[in-house]
Structure 1
């Protein structure tokens, strides 16, 4: 059983910001038309984080297969994640902090990571609610946390602030 732990985002801010800029440059070199976004808790001040960096790479539909091929040369596939015609996940556990890459087709079903970030950035009550969820699962089973996190984000997607994006 994998246990989940959280730290204040400030613990990782400098490393996460540096790694994001480095990885954005690498990704843009192979995918110049990509929209590369820093998403996840390290992108949200005052939030709790597991200590990893999440990047969303948004690409037009016609460029998706090329993007999958290009990112596959740079990162390992995230085998625990789904694969569709508009979404792939990659990772690099050797970086500090560890790195997760979510490749999405713009306006597709999985093109929501940047929206979660923007809603949490602009509505502190939602960030606080998310942090309370994290505190509840501190030191507990990662799978239980992931399910609760999914439930939270499904709820967040129904809020007026999310639907307006």
Structure 2
């Protein structure tokens, strides 16, 4: 693990986080649907979308759009949310954040079928397999307090392994 002294993984011990995230997701989904292209599919992803999964206490939202409407969706989200500069940005993937909400919000915009279109599939794999959630929780516990960059690297490898086992091997950030 690197000792970079930067951002650290801190797991949220509150059992109420999942409910708060779901309520905020429902409110934001309505707001997002009003500004995004008609083909946008807005999904609650991340740990708060999976029962029994440990979380940092944030809400992750995935917005999936067609390749053709990606630019329009990117501009719409960029007008409302701060770009997440700690995340990769490509021609078919952008990340945004809102740290002023509770829980904090991360929005991943991805073109359907793009290499980083993995968020919903990974969530669905976790929802379908409680043993997989246990393994994911063990990974999270082992990095609690560690450098976020180290956790993200281990998490990416875990996601690749899960999606590879599901027949959909894809690298993620």
Q: State the TM-score bracket (shorter-chain normalisation).
A: over 0.9
CA shift digits 1:55-100 (9 cap, x unpaired) = 0000011111110110001100001111111100000000100000
Task: Name the SS of the counterpart of 2:139 in structure 1.
Answer: helix
Task: Name the SS of the counterpart of 1:37 in structure 2.
Answer: strand
2:144 paired with 1:143: no
* TM-score (norm. length: structure 2): 0.89
* 1:59–1:105 contact (8 Å) kept in structure 2: yes
The alpha-carbon deviation at position 107 of structure 1 amounts to 1.2
Corresponding residue for residue 115 of structure 2: 109
* 1:88–1:104 contact (8 Å) kept in structure 2: yes
Structure in which a larger fraction of residues adopt helix: 1
* TM-score (norm. length: structure 1): 0.93
Corresponding residue for residue 53 of structure 1: 59
Aligned pairs, number = 163
> Any stretches of 5+ residues in structure 2 without a counterpart?
none
Deviating above 3 A after TM superposition, structure 1's stretches of 4 or more consecutive aligned residues are none
Task: Name the SS of the counterpart of 2:102 in structure 1.
Answer: coil
Give me the whole-angstrom Cα distance separating, in 2, the residues matched to 1:119 and 1:156. Answer: 8
The alpha-carbon deviation at position 18 of structure 1 amounts to 1.1
> Any stretches of 5+ residues in structure 1 without a counterpart?
none
Corresponding residue for residue 13 of structure 1: 18
Task: Name the SS of the counterpart of 2:101 in structure 1.
Answer: coil
